Amino acid sequence: MTASPKILVTCPPMLGMIESFRADFAAKGLELTAAQVTQTMSEQELIDLLPGFDGWIIGDDPASSRVLEAGACGKLRAIVKWGVGVDNVDFVAAKRLGLKSANTPGVFGKEVADLAMHYVSGLARHSFRIDREIRSDFAWPKPAGISLAGKNVGLVGFGDIGRNTAKRLLAAEMNLFVYDPYYQHQECIDAMQMVWPEGLGKMDFVVFTAPLTPETHHMLNVNTAKQLKDGVRIVNVGRGPLIQEAALVEGLASGKIHSVALDVFETEPFSPASQLRQYPDNIFGSHNASNTIDAVARVSKQTIAIIAEMLSDV
C-alpha cells in the first residue's frame, strides 16, 4: 500500500487555523505536519527537515537554492508558496531540481488594502497613540489630526493590492498618484501615473504596496527620502526592504517624516532595539495584513488542492 504524501506547513496564518484544515488534508489523502514557527524557519532548520517531506506549503521562509536542493535530495517533489509575495522562493532552482512549484497570486488584495487604509486613517488621526495613552496612562488626549479629503497620496505599486487600496483612498476623496512602471488605467480609478521618485515633494502620504524585486529594493532610501514633503506620513504593507529603515529613522529625527505605519520590516520580527519605536505616532504591525479568518480559509483550501494535484501524478 502506497504511503500518503507527507506535507510540511510553515505558513503562520495557516498554522493559526490548522485544526480547521486537517479534514481537507485527509480528504486529499495527505499527511499533515504543522511546523512550530512564529514567523519563519531558518535555512538550516529547513535543510534538516525538508528531506522527509513530499510537499511543502511555504510562508515567508527562505526557500533558497540550498534549502530546495536538500529537500530534493530526499522526498520533496512539490512546493506551494502560500500567498502573494514570492521573493523568498527560488523558483528557478525549483525548476532546475524538477520540483513542481506554484503560488497563489491575487488572493489578498482586499484584505491588505483594508489594513493599508486603516493605517492611513490611523496616522492622520493619531488614533493608535490615543488608544495607547488612554490605556497605559489613563490620559484623555486630544491631538489634532488632519483631514484625508483633498490630500495627495503617492501609491507605490498598482497590482491587485494597489488597485484595491486605490479604491479605498479615492473613497476618502484623496488625490491619487501611482508609482508603477507597469501602470495601466483602470475604469473608475481616477489616478495619475508618476515616475519614482518624481513628485514626492507634494505627497502628504506615501503608501507602499509593491512586491520586492531588485528594482524596488530600498526604493525609499536616505537619498530619495530627501525629496519627501516635510511632514509626510508613510505606510508600508508591501515588503519591508522596499524601505531602508535608516531613512525612516533619519526622517523622523529631522521632522521630514511625521510618522510611519509598517506591517512589514527589513528584519522580522521587528527588532526591540529599533529607533523607530521612539516615536509615539508610529504604528507597527506583525506582517499580518492578509490574516483574516475568511481569507486564510479560502487560500489555505486552495493551496491544499494545488499541492494535492501536484502530487497526484508524481
Q: Where are the domains of the chain?
A: 6-104+292-312, 109-284
Maximum distance among all Cα pairs of the chain, rounded to whole angstroms = 70
Query: What is the dotted CATH code of the domain comprising 6-104+292-312?
Result: 3.40.50.720
Q: What confidence score (pLDDT) does residue 313 get?
A: 72
What residues are paired with 191 via a beta bridge?
176
DSSP 76: -
For the annotated catalytic residues, the residue numbers are 239, 268, 287
Please check whether residue 16 is in contact with residue 291, taking contact to mean a CB–CB distance below 8 angstroms: yes
Residue 26: C-alpha distances to residues 21, 32, 77 (Å): 9, 8, 19
DSSP-derived 3-state class of residue 32: strand
Q: What confidence score (pLDDT) does residue 38 get?
A: 81
Q: What confidence score (pLDDT) does residue 3 get?
A: 85
Half-sphere exposure of 245 (CA within 13 A, CB side): 16
Beta strands 55-58 and 6-9, pairing class? parallel
Residues whose CB is less than 8 angstroms from the CB of residue 280 and which lie 6 or more positions away in sequence, other chains included: 129, 132
Mean pLDDT by 10 residues, the chain (314 residues): 88 95 98 92 96 97 97 98 91 97 93 98 98 96 98 98 98 98 95 98 98 97 98 98 98 98 95 97 96 96 97 78
Instruction: Answer yes or no: same fold for 6-104+292-312 and 109-284.
Output: yes
CATH superfamily, with its number, for domain 109-284? NAD(P)-binding Rossmann-like Domain (3.40.50.720)
Q: What confidence score (pLDDT) does residue 314 get?
A: 53
